[in-house]
Amino acid sequence: MKIEYYHDYAAMSTAGASMVIKALGNKPDMLLCAATGHSPFGLYQELVHRSKPEKNQYGLMRVIKLDEWIGLGHNGEGTCEHYLRSNLINPLAITENRYLAFDTENPDPPEECARMKLQLQQNEPIDLCILGLGKNGHLGFNEPTSYLQPHCHVAQLSHTSQQHGMVARIADTPQYGMTLGMADILASRKIVLLITGEGKEKAKQRLLSGKISTECPASFLWLHGNVDCLIVDK
């Protein structure tokens, strides 16, 4: 794992965006796995700012959504769908046939996860996976537990995830989510992990210790040979 420190959020976001643009230059039809939340927000803004519509820069790029809450409806405020469409999919003109996403309108979440597993198999591998570090060390909705699910699955959300800023103000907080599994993430050709925000010091220390444990899912990134870990040093 290559660990890089930045003096502020903007510098980290710019560096992350440069990695995405470089990867896109090497493979214009790359498959990008997109996380949501505060950590990658600046990176996505930078991609939009540096986009070149006249060159159809993102005309072939594909995007797969990392995870989604269950029970918030389709594209409503607080959903990962709304976040990605607002900050990445629509601004970069990613067409529907190049966007792979969990469908929150499917009344059968396990069936939806099976569908997404097949979609990923038909489009794999993920070329570049953007991740944020959860306050309890989670990646996506791969929560600390005694056993990590390898592929797309329904996850019971931890109290920490239920307090996430995207849903903290919602009266009926989601109890479950859908997410890519750890094997799906680790099969990515390159991973960029962004670490910023308050309340993550303990999870960051556990990750940087190098000790691999299911109680800190992010620690499994040490098993991958091409990870850039970008940290705002404050």
Q: Cβ of 151: how many Cβ atoms within 10 Å?
A: 17
Which pLDDT score is estimated for 168? 59
| Catalytic annotation, pick one of 46, 68, 81, 136 | 136
Q: Any idea which residue has 């792979």 for tokens?
A: 100
Task: Check: CB of residue 9 under 8 Å from CB of residue 39.
Answer: no
Q: Would strands 176-179 and 67-69 be described as parallel, antiparallel, or unpaired? A: antiparallel
Question: What pLDDT is recorded for position 134?
Answer: 95
Contact between residue 32 and residue 20 where contact means Cβ atoms under 8 Å apart:
yes
pLDDT of residue 165: 67
Active site residue 138: yes
Domains of the chain (ranges, CATH numbers): 2-232 (3.40.50.1360)
* Three-class DSSP labels, 51-98: CCHHHCCCCCCEEEECEEECCCCCCCCCCHHHHHHHHHHCCCCCCHHH
Q: CA–CA separation, 138 vs 132, rounded Å?
A: 9
Which pLDDT score, from 0 to 100, does residue 85 have? 96
- Ramachandran angles phi, psi of 231, nearest 5°: -125, 130
According to the model, what pLDDT value does residue 155 have?
96
pLDDT at 109: 96
Could you say which of 81, 138, 164, 184 is catalytic?
138
Q: Is 123 a catalytic residue?
A: no
Distance from C-alpha of 20 to C-alpha of 128, rounded to nearest angstrom: 7
pLDDT of residue 233: 86
Residue for token pair 């070329």 = 127
Q: Catalytic residue, from 46, 68, 81, 143: name it.
A: 143
pLDDT along the chain (234 residues), means of 10: 97 98 97 97 97 87 96 80 96 96 91 97 96 96 96 92 70 87 98 95 96 97 98 87
Q: Is 172 a catalytic residue?
A: no
Q: What is the pLDDT of residue 159?
A: 82
Catalytic residue check, 77: no
Nearest to 101 by CA among 179, 190, 165: 179
